[in-house]
Amino acid sequence: MAINDSYGKATLSYLEGIARDIVECILLLCLREATFDELMQVMPLSSPELLKRYLFYLIDYNLISYNGRNRAYTIKDVGIDILARTTKEK
């Protein structure tokens, strides 16, 4: 299946929408600090490895940080800005 046929575009935009929703959910949970276990309970992800990938990229893009002492993820200022933009678009 080619990516530029109508079915491929619909599938790709659907997957992008899911990824956007997952990122938004993680950012919202990180507003009040969230542990990995808390994120796993709330997130509709299929595996811990997938959640770890999302968390890695969000840390890499400076949207969230990890506090080793509390074993919790918290949102950073850039993440708050992104979250505000996504909720404003809805």
Q: Residue 8 above 50 pLDDT? A: no
Q: 7 falls in which pLDDT band (50, 70, 90)?
A: very low
Higher pLDDT among residues 82 and 19, named by residue:
82
Instruction: Give DSSP secondary structure letters for 7-69.
Output: HHHHHHHHHHHHHHHHHHHHHHHHTT-B-HHHHHHHS--S-HHHHHHHHHHHHHTTSEEEETT
The pLDDT of 7-35, averaged and rounded, is 78
Give the separation between CA 62 and CA 34, rounded to whole angstroms.
16
Q: Rounded CA gap, 87 and 18, in Å?
A: 15
Neighbours of 17 (CB within 10 A): 10
Asked whether residue 57 is assigned to any structural domain, the reply reads yes
The pLDDT value given to residue 11: 60
Q: Is residue 54 part of a domain?
A: yes
CATH number of the CATH domain containing 85? 1.10.10.10
Structural domain including 35 reads: 6-89
In a domain, residue 64? The reply is yes
Q: What is the pLDDT of residues 30-63, one digit of tens each?
A: 999 999 999 999 876 678 999 999 999 999 999 9
In this model, does residue 3 exceed pLDDT 70? Answer: no
Is 1 among the domain residues?
no
Mean pLDDT of the chain: 84
Residues contacting 78, CB < 8 A, separation 6+: 61, 62, 63
Total number of domains in the chain: 1
* 13 lies in some domain: yes
